[in-house]
Amino acid sequence: MTSDFDIALEGFIRRHLGEVDGLRVEGEARATGGQSRENWPFDLHWQDGGQSHHRRLFLRRDPVGSVLETDRRVEYEVLRRLHDQLVRAPEVVWLDADGSELGRPALVMTRYDGLNDHFILEGGISQLDEDTRVGIASQMVDLMIEIHALDWRGAGLNEVLAVPDDPATAAIDEWAAVVQRQSLEPQPVLAEIEQWLRRNRPEPGETTVVHGDIKPGNVLFDGHRVQVLLDWETVHLGDPAEDVGWVTNPIRRREHQIPGRWEVDDLVSAYEARTGRVVDRARLRFWQVLANYKLAAITMTGVRSFCDGRTQRVWSGTGLLGKVLLAQTNEEWQ
């Protein structure tokens, strides 16, 4: 039975492809996984000028309720400008910026083969030996360095993304606004953390592209090789230490560390050696705290979406994150 979404998707494709014969869309079933967007992999077949064509595509559409409120237009424009850059980002194809064609805002990108394993460094579904996992962890650092090395002015990203005078203050303001907007009750712990962040914000330094959510769960692996980094919806211009803080914060230990072989000092030392940057530990601590403050804001958004009846996924509160944040901001925390 053809659904309204099937009809809308085919119409959307026809408007972009123009007059073609034998248009056929296969496999457009929503994929599992993905906490912030709906993911729809599909195969597109058509004929044009006597030639047969086939493209493997992937549609990302805003859900009714999400853990993140981001803009598909920005994500699309960033990825379009990154197409000719030396970074492993997906190729975008089409955009429905306001959802007038597909029901809700969406973008279509090339679909890639590969394994997605959130906890590949811990063993995960791949069950790789430790030396192989250390090699993958090292590649994840290289991936982050690729992003931070991008010529964002040359790529025109300043036409799409705000260029902050003070990245730390901009980040605090952004996520504090999310906390305020999504709160269902007073948040005294998060209010205290916000004040700690404002007191301890680092001075502005180098500005680079910041992905904002680097993790194995957002990567497709070709065997033991990092192939492409997905989910660029939180990309922005800011302090490169923000990404380093995101991957070294304690909540993400299972995703980014291998006990005894690849821990925070190993990751930071590799980043410093390969970039020539010195990662100031006080600056890093600020961004580690900000990472978990951001996670608390994201969790609250999920809770609000559930309580408003916009999603059926049940999210727990910020209790654990609050305890971690209080420990992080304690003067004796290391």
User: Residue with structure tokens 């004929």?
Assistant: 47
Confidence at residue 281, expressed as pLDDT on a 0 to 100 scale: 95
**Residues 119 and 216: beta-carbon distance below 8 Å:** yes
Distances (CA, A) of 318 to 15, 114, 183, 184, 284: 45, 33, 11, 12, 23
Confidence at residue 110, expressed as pLDDT on a 0 to 100 scale: 96
**Residues 201 and 169: beta-carbon distance below 8 Å:** yes
The span from the CA of 159 to the CA of 197, in Å, is 29
pTM for the complete prediction? 0.91
Distances (CA, A) of 46 to 34, 59, 166: 29, 18, 49
Closest CA to 63 of 315, 306, 297: 306
Secondary structure element (H or E) that encloses residue 225, with its range: strand 225-229
Averaged over successive runs of 10 residues, the pLDDT of the chain (334 residues) comes to 82 91 80 67 90 94 79 95 93 96 95 92 88 97 98 97 98 97 91 96 97 96 93 96 96 94 98 97 96 93 82 68 82 47
> Domains in the chain, start-ordered, CATH in brackets?
4-110 (3.30.200.20), 130-329 (3.90.1200.10)
